[in-house]
Chains A and B, each alone.
Chain A
Amino acid sequence: MSQTRAVTAVQPKRTWTSISGGTVRVSDVLRVVVLVGGALACLVPLLWMFLGSFKTPTELAQRPPTFLPESWLPTNYVEALSRFNFLQYLSNSVIVTVVATALTLVINAMAAYALAKYNFRGKTLLFLLTLATIMIPLQVILIPVYQVVASLGLVNTLWGMIIPAAATPTGVFLLRQYMLSIPDELIEAARVDGSGEFRTFAQIVIPLCMPALAVVAIFSVMWRWSDFLWPLVVAQSESVYTLPVALARFNAELTVPFNLILAMGVVSTIPVLVIFLFFQRQIATGIANTGIK
């Protein structure tokens, strides 16, 4: 692997005055070369998809492939819109993402508050149980969960996609850790002032938890937006397809031209990229603090 080679190359040149600038070392150059190579490997496929989404089927079939599209007109996007219920899938995706995230935030924050700031019977057990479920991803219990959803009549509904994974153990864990740092005196003071338990939670604790809530929200949005297996199982008719489900289904049908698929792929990628650009720092700290998706 090229990375290892670059790392070992640091060894012979032993000028340990690392903070001093000025002289350019071979190891520095090598490192930058490797990093730029890696960065290109990350970006080129996405750039390629973007360029491809403007190409015609004939252009896409060319050998060797052409680099830039002949025209930058959004023909494929317009056609994808008119040919499929594209707006329907888009709105399904938005609804599932937004409602699921809102639900997750509310119930996770409430549970986290109980686990962080109260003493009650069964607290440790409930907390450990919550942690243990990190090890039970929905993929592994797909069929039994589907049975539950089916018996509740939620198959083929957006609620069926939203509810089952709403109680994320990681959200509870992250919020609880954050709430532990809120001084008890604050909550006490609110009680002395006659504030009810729920009001204290909603008006004192929640505003203080905004940074942690933001992290949970961002992760929930990113994950729900891309989620595939569960929506695939629940969505059996086209009217409830989310974008990833629609993309996979159409891709499997050979009749759908690939340039339209690419256009849909670009549309489904842009929102998460925008969110990332805005919330980069929160994402990085969120991952660093929990190490959990």
Chain B
Amino acid sequence: MTTTTITTARPPLTRWTGGGWGMKLAPYLFLIPNMVIFAMFTIYPALNGFNMSLYESNNGRTFRWVGLDNYRKILTDAEFWDVVRNTVIYAVAFVVLGTLVALATAALVNAQRRGKTFFRAVFFIPVLVSPVVVGLIWNWMLERQNGLVNTALGWFGIPAVPWLVDDTWAMVAIILVGIWMQMGFYMLILLAGLQAIDPALYEAARMDGANWWQQFRVITVPLLQPSIVVVVVLATIHGFQSFDFIWTLTGGGPVGATTLMVQYIYENGFQSPIRYGIATAGGVLLFLTVFTLTLVNWLISRRREAV
């Protein structure tokens, strides 16, 4: 081997001229299994989704070309627009409230001298529970007559809340449960960000007489921004694709009041009457939405970093 004394440690090994075939082929061989699965089950389907959305099928086997008719149908479908409205309300509330709650919790945990690890662990526990189970438990706890939540509210003289019976309350319920379930994950990211901030900065600010709010605004927020961006991006992706816990919590009801996009796609695609075209067209629209939002989020954060 002639070029064994490569000086730079990173970026990795520039070129092994003496390596022969084995070394030239090796990276491709290493990549093949992963990339084949990627290509077959992510990239091809993502592209094929556009194509499939131009066909209609009522059984998933025989397809009939209909052009843009699926989009015409879906965009004039009142149910679809209800689902869009629900999804946007849920996702926005989830992202905004979820991030704020996670941020507040992270700040509180970080300020704690004792029991930091304990609180961090406890707040993370709901993340671990299977979303299906989360939906089951909360469906039971939010039961109107003898659910634990209404019983507890009753102790304080608050009348029973029609959690899963009323349209608006059901939406409130899925937002709160969604935050309950995911908040710990975002909190961990933000907590790590907070712990990475040099305490000397706060010390200096205090010497200069900065109060709590000024410190928060001038030191915490700017330095925590990368973590906040990560959380917002993840929460956006999670929010728009929420399905599993809602399925067992409200089932999308009452009368579709909490049916979100993924459930709409699932039901059209797999429950009779099967409307494959509608399901794939809905999938394409959701895909474009999530993709665009994530991209915009990243771009905004990049620009801010550059300034």
Contacts and interface: CB of A to CB of B under 8 A. Distances in A.
Contact of B14 (A119, A133, A149): A119
Interface stretch (B74-82, B84-92, B121-129, B165-173): B121-129
A268 B135 CA distance: 14
B158 to A, nearest CB: 14
Dominant secondary structure at the B interface: helix
Contact of B290 (A108, A140, A188): A140
B131 A65 contact: no
Contact of B6 (A14, A110, A188): A188
B128 A142 contact: no
A143 B283 contact: yes
Contact of B45 (A14, A144, A269): A144
Given A35-B109, A110-B31, A118-B26, A229 B48 contact: no
A143 B28 contact: no
Nearest to A225: B130
Interface in B100-158: 100-101, 104-105, 107-109, 111-112, 115, 117, 119-126, 128-133, 136-138, 140-141, 145-148, 151, 154
Interface string A38-65: 1101111110110010000000011111
A184 B6 CA distance: 9
Given A280-B121, A291-B231, 7 more contacts: A35-B109, A35-B112, A48-B141, A143-B280, A192-B4, A247-B136, A251-B248
Contacts of A216: none
B43 interface: yes
Interface string B16-42: 000000111011101101110110111
Interface residues of B, number: 107
A251 B141 contact: no
A269 B133 contact: yes
Interface string A254-293: 0000100110010011001100100010011001100111
B206 A117 contact: no
B291 interface: yes
A237 interface: no
Interface in B55-81: 60
